[in-house]
Amino acid sequence: MFSHLNNIVKTFALLSLLIIGSNANAESSQDFGDYVIHYNAFRSDLLSPDMAKAYNLTRRNNRLILNIAVLKKVLNTTGTPTAANVTGHIKNLMGQMRDIEFREIKEGTAIYYLAESQFSNDEILMFELNVIPEGSNEAASVKFKKRFSTY
């Protein structure tokens, strides 16, 4: 029972942080047919040490976490979490590109995908992702850019 409650608390804490981070930078989502893809990238040192340890994430002011969640649209609800195949890469303004690897996290009914990467101070990064929701044969192309600072 305690383990189950602990998982619920961890899930709520991570989702709360992701929502707060998302609201600080405006809601980031993209409609894709029957699905909505939510995405956010933020500095990993915004995570608490306990949360970073629980999810095996590195906390540093020069590392970012990329979070992706896919929801199937369901009338009169916020949607149903949906598994997906998520791949992609990051480019900087000099055209240097690196692939990113996502880990699927399932907790209760929540499903999301996390990836980590490094950045240099005051660097603008362009994210290019392909997301194929389970049950779909088409890939959604998600592209966004964001400036990261180590201050």
Three-state DSSP class for residue 147: strand
pTM summary value: 0.81
Q: Please give the residue range of the domain that contains residue 138.
A: 2-148
DSSP letters along 86-101, please? EEEEEEETT--EEEE-
> Looking at the 3D structure of the chain, how many domains does it have?
1
Distance of CA 56 to the CA centre of its chain: 15
Question: In the chain, helix, strand, coil percent, each to 5?
Answer: 20, 50, 30
pLDDT (tens digit per residue) in 14-60: 544 444 444 444 569 999 999 999 999 999 999 999 999 999 999 99
Best-predicted range by mean pLDDT (126-130, 133-137, 147-151): 126-130
CATH of the domain at 69: 2.60.40.3340
